[in-house]
């Protein structure tokens, strides 16, 4: 089972550090690495905390580390998988009992959406963008799906983004509203969006 939630970015460093006491070094490193976007990084972990608590897991016993490829994971065998994404003040997290990937983007007008798709997407994906009534939204739909697949794999893609195709894969899609804008969220496989007092979901 995969659950997903999204929160707006704000200062949650103390809350997250106290909730994941074994992961203090990881949290500090994440905030230090992205000084300009420290709140964004920490808010992604806060979204993870929300899902961990909902699943009845003990955050005190969970330690977050990085794999060789840089993907954050819970240390230990048989641990749940998670994926975190950020975009323009929104933080998203997916928690699952199997490998999972998620990504989000603020929907906005992209005048060169079709030409970019033809350059960087597979032929099938580019045709999908070219046929769409709203090429900009379709571009970001394909883009977030590609990013989600990369995150699920836990490593970068060899070569260009057009070296793999998303059209045959299964995804869940959600929309979130924040700061006067709308965001698209893509998650590999089937999932359920968790609505809490702090989560944002477009109705």
CATH of the domain at 84: 3.90.470.20
Examine residue 201 and state whether it is found in any structural domain, yes or no: no
Examine residue 160 and state whether it is found in any structural domain, yes or no: yes
Highest mean predicted confidence (pLDDT) among 25-39, 74-88, 187-201? 74-88
Distance (Å, whole) CA 201 – CA 20: 26
Instruction: Indicate the average pLDDT of the chain.
Output: 92
Examine residue 202 and state whether it is found in any structural domain, yes or no: no
Q: How confident is the model at residue 198 (pLDDT cuts 50, 70, 90)?
A: confident
Q: How confident is the model at residue 148 (pLDDT cuts 50, 70, 90)?
A: very high
What is the pLDDT at residue 142? 97
Among 78, 80, 59, smallest CA distance to 15 is for 59
Q: What is the pLDDT of residues 42-62, one digit of tens each?
A: 999 999 999 999 999 999 999
Q: How confident is the model at residue 31 (pLDDT cuts 50, 70, 90)?
A: confident
Q: What sign does the CA torsion over 147, 149, 153, 157 have?
A: negative
Look up the domain containing 58 and give its range: 2-193
Distance (Å, whole) CA 48 – CA 6: 9
* pLDDT of 157 higher than 70: no
* pLDDT of 158 higher than 60: no
Examine residue 203 and state whether it is found in any structural domain, yes or no: no
Indicate the pTM of the whole model.
0.93
More confident residue, 74 or 160: 74
Examine residue 118 and state whether it is found in any structural domain, yes or no: yes
Q: What is the pLDDT of residues 95-120, one digit of tens each?
A: 999 999 999 999 999 999 999 999 99
Pairing of strands 2-8, 192-193: parallel
* pLDDT of 156 higher than 70: no
Residues 175-179, mean pLDDT to the nearest whole number: 94
Examine residue 173 and state whether it is found in any structural domain, yes or no: yes
Distance (Å, whole) CA 61 – CA 24: 12
Residues 16-41, mean pLDDT to the nearest whole number: 87
Examine residue 199 and state whether it is found in any structural domain, yes or no: no
What is the pLDDT at residue 161? 75
Distance (Å, whole) CA 93 – CA 98: 14
Domain count, the chain: 1
Examine residue 200 and state whether it is found in any structural domain, yes or no: no
Q: How many residues does the chain have?
A: 203
With contact defined as beta carbons under 8 Å apart, do 154 and 124 qualify?
no
């Amino acid at each position: 089972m995969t659950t997903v939630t999204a929160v707006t970015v704000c200062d949650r460093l103390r809350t997250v550090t106290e909730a994941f006491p074994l992961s203090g070094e990881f949290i500090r490193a994440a905030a230090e690495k992205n000084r300009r976007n420290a709140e964004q990084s920490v808010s992604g972990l806060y979204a993870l905390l929300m899902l961990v608590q909902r699943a009845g897991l003990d955050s005190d016993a969970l330690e977050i580390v990085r794999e060789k490829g840089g993907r954050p994971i819970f240390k230990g065998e048989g641990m749940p998988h998670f994926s975190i994404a950020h975009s323009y003040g929104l933080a998203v997290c997916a928690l699952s009992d199997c490998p999972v990937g998620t990504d989000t983007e603020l929907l906005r007008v992209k005048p060169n959406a079709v030409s970019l798709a033809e350059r960087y997407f597979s032929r099938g994906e580019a045709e999908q963008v070219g046929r769409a009534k709203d090429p900009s939204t379709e571009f970001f739909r394909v883009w977030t799906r590609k990013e989600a697949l990369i995150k699920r794999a836990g490593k970068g893609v060899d070569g260009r983004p057009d070296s793999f195709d998303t059209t045959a894969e299964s995804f869940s899609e959600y929309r979130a509203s924040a700061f006067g804008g709308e965001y698209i969220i893509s998650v590999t496989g089937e999932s359920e969006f968790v609505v809490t007092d702090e989560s944002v979901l477009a109705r």
